[in-house]
Amino acid sequence: MAKILTAPAMSRCIGCYSCMLACARLNYGSYSPRHAALQIRTQGGLQGRLVADICRACREPACAEACPTGALSPRRGGGVTLRAEECIGCQACVRACPLGVIYWPKNGRTPIVCRHCGLCVRYCPHGCLAMEEVPDAE
């Protein structure tokens, strides 16, 4: 079975950004949390609760449909797989994502898109994130 990233326990999140730092460093070679495929932010104001902006693993991803070269293709179980060598930098995927969770780094050549790899889950000290098994797409 395929696995996807979920955020079932965000009430325990303290905003340490360990998940974002792990994703940015290990997946994208960056020390900036802005280069992570998930973003932790307040829901509103300084006292607002924290929420995770993450890919929801669409079964029919609009970002893949919008990609003119097929650099993004549907992933088994939902979400997408990126083939960076095929990306032409048009940013159509960023505009097509209904949740706004595909990011384009400044001076970047390819999008930052969640791989549903689970690295962020392993680095979250409070168990806010999880990898959930989902049936494979038919």
Tally the domains of the chain: 1
Cα-Cα-Cα-Cα dihedral sign, residues 19, 21, 22, 26: positive
From first to last of its 138 residues, the chain has per-residue pLDDT tens of 899 999 999 999 999 999 999 999 999 999 999 999 999 999 887 777 999 999 999 999 999 999 999 999 999 999 999 999 999 999 999 999 999 999 999 989 999 999 999 999 999 999 999 999 998 755
Domain that holds residue 79: 2-134
CATH number for 116: 3.30.70.20
Q: Is 60 left (phi over 0), alpha (psi -120 to 50) or beta?
A: beta
